[in-house]
Each structure stands twice: as structure tokens, then as C-alpha cells.
Amino acid sequence: MEKTICPHCKSESVVKRGTFESKAHGKQQRYFCKSCNRKFIERTAFYRMRNTPDKITSAIDLFYRGVSTRQVQAHLGVFYPHNADHSNIYRWVVKYSKMISGFTDKLKLRVGREMQIDEVEYNRRESHKHHGTAKNWFIDTIDTESRFMITSEFANSRGEEGIKKVLFRARAKTGEQIKTITSDGYLLYPRVVKSTFGYHRFQRGEIRHNVVNASRGEGFNIMIERMHNSIRQRTNPFRGFHGSVESAHAIMKGMEIYYNFIRKHLAIKCCPYELATDLKLNEKNKWLELINLSLQNNMENRCR
């Protein structure tokens, strides 16, 4: 049985001291710390949130299924009292996408021999108050066997820094499993791919870079392009991301989570995580289960 620890002084000299009740979370156990003489309730992933976990996670799920924040607000207004504003829904998406990705990005993967990398151009509104857009890029990789999106990055440009960041993370998550890296004919790829995965491995023939140039009739990277079509179905209605690159990156990390852990892939008849990881999700509300697993992982890391 896990001991309750005081969040203020980290002491284990804690006793139960009554209950605390709120409209969003119902009755909760209250504790008293004998070391610092402070009362507290258990810190959950929804601590100090004024809406229920079911309401918040249903809003996030609707958002990634293609419903705008204002339409989500209208939907919640029918079924829940004290309706949330559309700006709050946007903040929920950013907050919990960051939280879950901190957990899912550390999962070790079981992948096939080929990984594909590509990028998608996006126009981001630099501010909702002013005109003008900035051209940004969503750079991502996919395992062709499990269809798992290995890693992604929403970057200012598709320069060397952004591509290297994606490839370094992909290598860390897949180890020595990848034997073929497939990309399009973008001239930056050959040098960056070899420098990231190691020139010596290419010289010894342990790994190869497969360049597919569609404009020359050399074929088409069908796996990653199909994934991009699925992502575009959701992101095309966006009228820009209306914020910083960091918030746009958080939203696209949520899209990565939705693609890997929530949405059933039609080709493999299951979610990609079921083939690529040892993670078991047993609840119907996978968003809530992932949020709780993320909090549990954070607490374990703090205790080490």
C-alpha cells in the first residue's frame, strides 16, 4: 500500500483529517501533515480543475475527432451545467497533450525494419489579433509495420535542426531495430540521416537510406502519406493555430497521441500502440487512463 506524502514538505507523517467536497470532484479525503501542520487533499491530474475528468476528457476527444472548440462548447452546454468557454477547452487540449506526451515519448518501441520520414507545411496565424501568417512544418516519422508514429516535431522550418531533433528521438526510441530509413528527395536528408544514425553503420551496410523521388516516377511513400491525409482531415479546418509554436507543437503532440493510442487504424484493425508497445489500456476512456498513467509516472520519477 502506497503511503501518502505531504506535497508541501514531503513528509510521511500524515493522518486523515475529515473530508473535502466540491461540485466537480465530489467528496475527497483530507489529510493533515504533522511535520508542517498543513492540510491538503491528494494531488490528482485534475487538481484545482473546476470541471469533472469525464467532461474534460470528452472535450479533448471531440476536439481530436474533428469538432471545433466552439462546437465542443455548444455540445457540452447541452449535457453539463456550468458550461466551459471555448478558450478553456483549448487550454485543456494543450495542458493534457503535454502531460500525456511526457509519458508516451519515453515508451520503448517494438518496430519493424523500415521507418519513413516526411514533413507537412502549415500556415500558423502569429496572433488572433493581427493579420499575417508564418510558414511552419510538421516533421514526423512512422514505422511501416505497426503504423506507429514514432516521433514528431512542429518546427519553425524544415531545416537541419528540426529534422535532426526528430531523427535523434526516433533513434533513441527504436535502438538498433531500424534497417531502412525512407524519405523523399529533399536534399538535406542524406547528410542528416547519416550523421544522426552514424556514418559507420552505413559504411558497414547495417542500415541504408532509401530515397524515393515521386517527381521522377520512383514511387510514393504510401504509409506516411496516408497518415498525413488522416492528420490533414483534422487540421484543415484550423484557421491557423492562433498562438506560439510551442502551443501548436502541443496540439500536434495530442494529434500524435490520438493517432497512436485512441484511433483504431483501419489497415491493422487495432491501435498502433498495441503492436509497437507493451502498454495495456483497459478502460474505454483511454484519454483519462493515459492522463492517470502520466501522473503516476511523474510521481515515480520524483521519488527516485
- Take residue 49 and report the three cell numbers written for it: 480543475
CA–CA separation, 138 vs 163, rounded Å?
10
Helix-, strand-, coil-residue percentages of the chain, each rounded to 5: 40, 20, 40
pTM over 0.85: yes
Q: Is residue 182 part of a domain?
A: yes
Displacement of CA 170 from its chain's centroid (Å): 14
Q: Are residues 66 and 85 in the same domain?
A: yes
CA–CA separation, 275 vs 56, rounded Å?
28
CA–CA separation, 84 vs 56, rounded Å?
9
Displacement of CA 139 from its chain's centroid (Å): 14
Q: Is residue 137 part of a domain?
A: yes
Q: 130 versus 270: which is more confidently predicted?
A: 270
User: Is 197 in contact with 163 (CB distance < 8 Å)?
Assistant: no
- The candidate with the shortest Cα–Cα distance to 122, out of 150, 157, 90, is 157
Q: Binning pLDDT at 50, 70 and 90, where does residue 45 land?
A: confident
Q: Binning pLDDT at 50, 70 and 90, where does residue 24 land?
A: low
Q: Is residue 273 part of a domain?
A: no
Domain span holding position 38: 1-43
Neighbours of 218 (CB within 10 A): 12
Q: Are residues 239 and 287 in the same domain?
A: no
- Take residue 20 and report the three cell numbers written for it: 473535502
**Per-residue pLDDT for 148 more than 60?**
yes
Neighbours of 66 (CB within 10 A): 12
Q: Summarize pLDDT for 276-303 with one digit per residue, the tens.
A: 999 999 999 999 999 999 988 877 766 5
Count Cβ neighbours within 10 Å for each residue of 198-207 and write b for 16 or more, e otherwise.
eeeebeeeeb
Burial class (CB in 10 A: 0-12, 13-18, 19+), 47: exposed
Q: How much of the chain exceeds pLDDT 70, in percent? A: 93
Q: Are residues 67 and 150 in the same domain?
A: no
- Take residue 110 and report the three cell numbers written for it: 517494438
- Take residue 163 and report the three cell numbers written for it: 529534422
Q: Are residues 21 and 139 in the same domain?
A: no
CA–CA separation, 256 vs 262, rounded Å?
10
**Residue 194 pLDDT:** 95
Q: Are residues 119 and 238 in the same domain?
A: yes
Runs of H (alpha helix) within the chain: 53-64, 69-79, 86-104, 160-174, 189-197, 199-203, 222-235, 245-257, 272-276, 286-303
Neighbours of 289 (CB within 10 A): 18
CA–CA separation, 263 vs 162, rounded Å?
27
Domain count, the chain: 3
Q: Binning pLDDT at 50, 70 and 90, where does residue 247 land?
A: confident
Q: Are residues 53 and 36 in the same domain?
A: no
Q: Are residues 60 and 172 in the same domain?
A: no
Pairing of strands 133-143, 114-125: antiparallel
Find all residues with CB under 8 Å of 67, minimum gap 6, and list them: 75
Q: Where residue 39 sits, what CATH number does that domain have?
A: 2.20.25
Q: Is residue 274 part of a domain?
A: no
- Take residue 282 and report the three cell numbers written for it: 483497459
User: Is 59 in contact with 92 (CB distance < 8 Å)?
Assistant: yes
CA–CA separation, 148 vs 110, rounded Å?
10
Q: Are residues 199 and 231 in the same domain?
A: yes
**Residue 293 pLDDT:** 94
Q: Binning pLDDT at 50, 70 and 90, where does residue 129 land?
A: low
